[in-house]
């Protein structure tokens, strides 16, 4: 026998193996010769291909042996042999991430019936040597990157029954040669770049059951000859660029169960002959240009389970005959021009799971029987003109996941049963006329992630359980006349990312930002909120956008906003905010938009690129602002000064704040801290006074200080109360509130990043902003006011030496006439 030629990459060990005379005699018979060539073919595959996953690890020579016709390669992974002849009959190399060129020696596997090369990284032209495997019945080369025109020779595989080449990069016309494969049952040429028209001869396969040509660049009209494929059960021709209409001849495919010609640029009317495809269970014709009416003949498709005619130009009404299709599970007619009412009986379809009718012009009521099937998963009838109440039994089977009804004219209260629908994921009912109160219970639904109730007529309280919603990430209740307050726990929903409650006539104070670890957008504009912006907004570290405009907020702009690491959009316009714009905004590199117009702000506009590029309207209506884009020069003496005259300011700073300030000054003085002391030290002093602990108490642990202890405590539930000295202001809520304000200032002063710490001028402004709600106790003998707080009278400003030290430290000069001037 002539020794076959070997490539340079063929292993030397194999050559030596076949050279050994004491080894197997290759030419002893034609059978052994055939087996030897099979070994050559398998080892050629191994040596020619790149195998990053080492999937050929067991294809090694030591395992080779021949004993009575039993060959070692039959045990290699992916290799199957005939039990009698030991000929390789199946080779499965799928999903191994193989690449490289398939060697011509593969033709020696002449007994192959099954060859699977799918799910690899083969590229380049398809190897014609495979066409020499004349016994092949199944050939799968899908999910590779074979390129160029499909080569001639496929007709040599005359017994081929299944050919799958899905998801490659073939180009050129569809091969006519396939027509010669008379045993072919499945042909899949989808997901490549074949162009041109579908050959008319593709309608002559006598045994073809599956035809998949979708996802190419085919054009022209669909040949009516395809209607002659009498054995066909599944046809997928979509995602191409045909012209013309849907051939009525395809309705002759009496065995067809699955038809998909979606996204194919087909136009014209749907032929009524579609009603002849009585075996259909799936009809997909979406994303075309079909016009005219939906054929009433579709009511004859009693086996139909899925109907998708969406994204067309269909008009007219939904045929009532469709409500007789008892096996329907999925109906999608969205994005058409349908009018009229939804057939009432459609709500009684026993197997209905998905009803998608959005973006039409449907009128009337949503069938009140909808949901009785117990199988309903998704309802989307948004962007229509539907009226009346929302059906009460939509979640009858506790399987409903998505209810999308926005932009209609629904009225009446929201069914309370929806607040008990544990399967619900998304609820979108915005832009309707729904009234009544928001039912309690939505915050207890374990899977709810998205709720939009905006643009309705809801009134009354916002349910507190929404603050307990575990998975809720989006909550929008804007544009409702609620006339209520925000629940104190609203920010505690652990996964809440977007919260919008604009234009709701909300009153009271904005709740403290406890929790809010996931929030990145807050919209509270156009309400009636009063009080100050909570300082602990700094806990919302992921916040990108904050809109508190058009409220009645007072006080200063919290320093913490300027320290938010990702803030991009800030709108605080049209409030009654006072004080200066925190200078730390100069370091806020993420800021893109900033609006503080129409407030009572004073002082210089911070420098920095964002402030140089802003329009002056961002600061309009603040007579005391200067510098920056306003072009108004700042008076150094007046811009930085705190105007405190007579006894007016001491009254503003009376109560616990004054006591703490005085104690802090005195404490600093007795420790002989001089005016070079920094902001951090001042914050530590405040923490010691507020907690009643020394900065290095043993309870803080080795290596920890009071700063670490306080920061760890405030992250826990009731942690702030654990920090504050329980003997200070016990039973008097105003005192505790003032102490919390002071703690906030202490935390700012001890920020880990020095750039985030306020200047002493900012500290003074914050101290003055923390206005007490009481007057200071004049003597121990006074009584109580009934609220647990003692009666108080005015006290003078703290005197020297502590007060004098404080004013020097802050850069102000103290005068006996109680006037404070900038030094």
- Domain total in the chain: 2
| Interatomic CA distance for residues 216 and 507, integer angstroms | 60
Would you state the pLDDT for residue 537?
A: 93
The confidence band for 1, taking pLDDT boundaries of 50, 70 and 90, is: very low
Among candidate residues 156, 171, 186, the one where a domain is terminated: 171
Q: What is the DSSP string of 67-135?
A: ETTEEGGGGSTTEEE-TTT--EEEEE-TTS--EEPPPGGGGG-TT-SEEE--SS--EESPPGGGGG-TT
Tell me, yes or no, whether 45 lies in a domain.
yes
Tell me, yes or no, whether 684 lies in a domain.
yes
Rounded average pLDDT over 196-206? 98
- Predicted TM-score of the model (pTM): 0.77
pLDDT tens-digit readout, 214-228: 999 999 999 999 999
Tell me, yes or no, whether 811 lies in a domain.
yes
| Interatomic CA distance for residues 664 and 161, integer angstroms | 91
Residue 237 corresponds to which tokens in the numbers above? 């021709």
Would you state the pLDDT for residue 807?
A: 40
Residue 84: how many other CB atoms lie within 10 Å: 7
Tell me, yes or no, whether 775 lies in a domain.
yes
Tell me, yes or no, whether 663 lies in a domain.
yes
The single-letter DSSP state of residue 585 is G
When the pLDDT of each residue in the chain is averaged and rounded to a whole number, the result is 84
| Interatomic CA distance for residues 606 and 634, integer angstroms | 12
Judged by average pLDDT, the poorest of 202-211, 610-619, 690-699, 785-794 is 785-794
Domain CATH number, residue 28: 3.80.10.10
pLDDT tens-digit readout, 140-164: 999 999 999 999 999 999 999 999 9
Would you state the pLDDT for residue 636?
A: 53
| Interatomic CA distance for residues 67 and 110, integer angstroms | 22
Would you state the pLDDT for residue 642?
A: 40
Residue 727 corresponds to which tokens in the numbers above? 């003997």
Among candidate residues 106, 140, 171, the one where a domain is terminated: 171
> Considering only CA atoms, which of 425, 386, 405, 407 is closest in space to residue 415?
405
The confidence band for 785, taking pLDDT boundaries of 50, 70 and 90, is: low
DSSP run (H or E) holding 707: helix 706-713
| Interatomic CA distance for residues 771 and 531, integer angstroms | 11
Q: Is the pLDDT of residue 652 over 90?
A: no
| Interatomic CA distance for residues 796 and 818, integer angstroms | 9
Task: Provide the residue range defining the domain that includes 144.
Answer: 12-171
> Considering only CA atoms, which of 551, 559, 597 is closest in space to residue 575?
551
Would you state the pLDDT for residue 789?
A: 60
Tell me, yes or no, whether 34 lies in a domain.
yes
What percent of the chain is modeled with pLDDT above 90? Answer: 66
Tell me, yes or no, whether 682 lies in a domain.
yes
The confidence band for 259, taking pLDDT boundaries of 50, 70 and 90, is: very high
Residue 647: how many other CB atoms lie within 10 Å: 12
Tell me, yes or no, whether 206 lies in a domain.
no
Q: Which residues contact 751 (CB under 8 A, 6 or more apart)?
A: 563, 757
| Interatomic CA distance for residues 423 and 398, integer angstroms | 6
Among candidate residues 123, 155, 171, the one where a domain is terminated: 171
Q: Is the pLDDT of residue 26 over 70?
A: no
Give the E-state strand segments of 141-294 in sequence order: 145-149, 162-164, 169-171, 186-188, 195-196, 210-212, 217-220, 234-236, 241-242, 258-260, 267-269, 282-284, 289-292
pLDDT tens-digit readout, 33-85: 667 889 999 999 999 999 999 999 999 875 455 444 446 899 999 999 999 88
Inter-residue contact 807 to 814 (CB < 8 Å): yes
Judged by average pLDDT, the poorest of 24-28, 322-326, 600-604 is 24-28
Q: Is the pLDDT of residue 192 over 80?
A: yes
Rounded average pLDDT over 410-433? 98
């Amino acid at each position: 026998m002539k020794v076959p030629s070997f490539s340079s990459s063929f292993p030397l060990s194999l050559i030596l193996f076949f050279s050994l005379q004491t080894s197997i005699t290759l030419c002893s018979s034609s059978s052994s010769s055939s087996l030897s060539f099979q070994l050559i073919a398998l080892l050629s595959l191994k040596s020619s291909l790149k195998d990053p996953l080492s999937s050929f690890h067991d294809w090694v020579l030591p395992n080779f042996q021949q004993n009575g016709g039993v060959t070692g390669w039959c045990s290699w992974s992916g290799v199957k042999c005939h039990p009698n002849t030991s000929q390789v009959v199946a080779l499965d190399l799928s999903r191994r991430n193989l690449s490289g060129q398939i060697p011509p020696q593969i033709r020696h596997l002449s007994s192959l019936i099954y060859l699977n090369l799918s799910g690899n990284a083969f590229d380049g032209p398809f190897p014609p040597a495979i066409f020499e495997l004349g016994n092949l019945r199944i050939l799968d080369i899908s999910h590779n990157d074979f390129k160029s025109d499909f080569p001639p020779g496929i007709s040599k595989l005359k017994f081929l029954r299944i050919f799958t080449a899905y998801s490659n990069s073939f180009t050129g016309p569809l091969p006519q040669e396939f027509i010669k494969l008379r045993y072919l049952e499945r042909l899949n040429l989808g997901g490549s770049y074949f162009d041109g028209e579908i050959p008319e001869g593709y309608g002559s396969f006598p045994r073809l059951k599956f035809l998949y040509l979708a996802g190419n660049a085919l054009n022209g009209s669909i040949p009516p000859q395809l209607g002659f494929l009498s054995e066909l059960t599944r046809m997928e021709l979509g995602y191409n660029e045909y012209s013309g209409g849907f051939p009525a001849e395809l309705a002759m495919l009496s065995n067809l169960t699955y038809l998909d010609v979606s996204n194919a640029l087909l136009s014209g009317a749907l032929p009524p002959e579609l009603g002849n495809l009585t075996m259909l269970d799936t009809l997909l014709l979406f994303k075309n240009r079909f016009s005219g009416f939906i054929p009433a003949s579709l009511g004859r498709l009693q086996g139909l389970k899925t109907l998708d005619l969406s994204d067309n130009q269909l008009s007219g009404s939904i045929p009532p005959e469709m409500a007789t299709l008892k096996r329907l599970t999925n109906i999608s007619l969205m994005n058409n021009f349908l009018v009229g009412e939804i057939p009432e009986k459609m709500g009684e379809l026993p197997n209905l799971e998905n009803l998608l009718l959005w973006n039409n012009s449907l009128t009337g009521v949503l069938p009140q029987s909808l949901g009785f099937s117990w199988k309903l998963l998704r309802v989307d009838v948004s962007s229509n003109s539907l009226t009346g109440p929302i059906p009460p039994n939509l979640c009858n089977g506790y399987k409903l996941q998505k209810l999308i009804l926005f932009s209609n004219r629904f009225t009446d209260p929201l069914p309370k049963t929806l607040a008990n629908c544990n399967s619900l994921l998304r609820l979108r009912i915005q832009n309707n006329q729904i009234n009544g109160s928001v039912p309690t219970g939505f915050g207890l639904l374990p899977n709810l992630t998205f709720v939009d109730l905006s643009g309705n007529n809801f009134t009354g309280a916002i349910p507190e359980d929404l603050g307990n919603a575990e998975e809720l990430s989006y909550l929008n209740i804007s544009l409702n006349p609620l006339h209520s307050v925000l629940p104190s726990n609203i920010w505690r929903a652990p996964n809440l990312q977007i919260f919008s409650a604009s234009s709701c006539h909300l009153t009271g104070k904005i709740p403290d930002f406890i929790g809010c670890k996931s929030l990145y957008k807050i919209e509270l504009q156009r309400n009636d909120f009063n009080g100050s912006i909570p300082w602990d907004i700094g806990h919302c570290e992921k916040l990108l956008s904050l809109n508190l405009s058009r409220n009645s907020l007072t006080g200063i702009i919290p320093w913490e906003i300027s320290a938010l690491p990702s803030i991009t959009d800030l709108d605080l316009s049209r409030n009654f905010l006072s004080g200066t714009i925190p200078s730390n905004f100069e370091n806020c590199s993420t800021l893109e938009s900033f609006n503080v117009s129409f407030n009572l702000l004073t002082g210089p506009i911070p420098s920095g690129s964002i402030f140089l590029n802003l329009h002056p309207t961002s600061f309009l209506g603040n007579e005391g602002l200067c510098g920056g884009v306003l072009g108004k020069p700042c008076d150094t003496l007046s811009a930085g000064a705190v105007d405190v005259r007579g006894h007016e300011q001491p009254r503003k700073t009376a109560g616990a704040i004054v006591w703490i300030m005085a104690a802090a000054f005195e404490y600093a003085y007795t420790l002989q801290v001089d005016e070079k002391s920094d902001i951090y030290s001042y914050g530590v002093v405040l923490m010691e006074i507020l907690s009643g602990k020394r900065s290095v108490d043993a309870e803080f642990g080795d290596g920890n200080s009071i700063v670490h202890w306080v920061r760890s405590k405030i992250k826990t539930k009731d942690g702030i109360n654990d920090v504050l000295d329980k003997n200070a202001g016990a039973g008097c809520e105003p005192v505790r509130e003032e102490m919390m304000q002071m703690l906030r200032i202490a935390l700012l002063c001890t920020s880990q990043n020095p750039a985030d710490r306020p200047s002493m001028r900012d500290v003074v402004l914050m101290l003055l902003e923390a206005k007490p709600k009481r007057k200071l106790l004049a003597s121990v003998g006074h009584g109580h006011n009934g609220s647990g707080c003692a009666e108080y009278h005015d006290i003078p400003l703290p005197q020297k030496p502590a007060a004098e030290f404080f004013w020097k430290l802050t850069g102000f000069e103290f005068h006996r006439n109680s006037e404070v001037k900038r030094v």
